[in-house]
Homo-oligomer: A and B are copies of this chain.
Amino acid sequence: MSLRHALLGLLGQSPASGYDLLKTFGISLANVWPATQSQVYAELGRLADAGLVEVSAEGPRGRKEYAITEAGLAELRHWMTETDPGPIARRSEMLLRVFFLGQIRPEQARAYLRRQAELGEERIKKLAPLKEVVEKMDDDLSVYGRLALDWGLRFSAMQRDWALWAEKEIEKEIEKKPGSAPEPEARPE
């Protein structure tokens, strides 16, 4: 139930409407905690019911600006300092497939890993330019957004290096026992 804390965290920085928050989820938080409209508006309602946020202003078009309350701040700080974040990468489709690599032809398995290395490399290329953009943002986001960005960079590099290494491992395995390919492949039909 961390969407709740994501919203509290955002409102802790400054009051905002659901619409504003949604934009943030679409940009800076998109990669760490995506959320949809339906989720955000619903959770804001629940948060208000619980007294953790309150409507601080109403604007045109029915706009409701929410601000965090004292209780909300306390909850936010408690979450940040007293509880451990859950496991990082609960599910990974990418790794799931690795377990089944023995069921396709070795060249296909190698291609898969090569592709993962490429994806890592691409991600680095996409993230790297953001570094300068983040540098110029308002102070908190500049400092902490940079930390998150760096995590992404390191992660992608690790992914790429691992995939490259893994591909070589499979190569070695092929040389060890050449004739062990599983049946040819789904027939064209």
Task: Tell me the A residues contacting B by CB distance below 8 Å.
Answer: 2, 5-6, 9, 12-13, 28-29, 31-34, 73-74, 76-81, 84-86, 88-104, 108, 111-112, 115, 119, 139-141, 143-148, 150-151, 154-155, 158-159, 161-162, 165-166, 169-170, 173, 185-186
Contacts and interface: CB of A to CB of B under 8 A. Distances in A.
A144 B9 contact: no
B162 A154 contact: yes
B102 A144 contact: yes
Contacts of A77: 103-104, 185-186
Contacts of A166: 147, 150-151
8 contacts: A5-B96, A33-B92, A79-B97, A81-B112, A99-B141, A102-B143, A143-B173, A151-B166
Given A5-B96, A154-B158, 9 more contacts: A6-B96, A29-B99, A32-B92, A33-B96, A79-B97, A80-B100, A81-B108, A99-B141, A147-B166
Contact of A86 (B73, B76, B93, B162): B93
A35 to B, nearest CB: 10
Contact of A13 (B81, B103, B186): B103
A85 B149 CA distance: 22
A13 B101 CA distance: 11
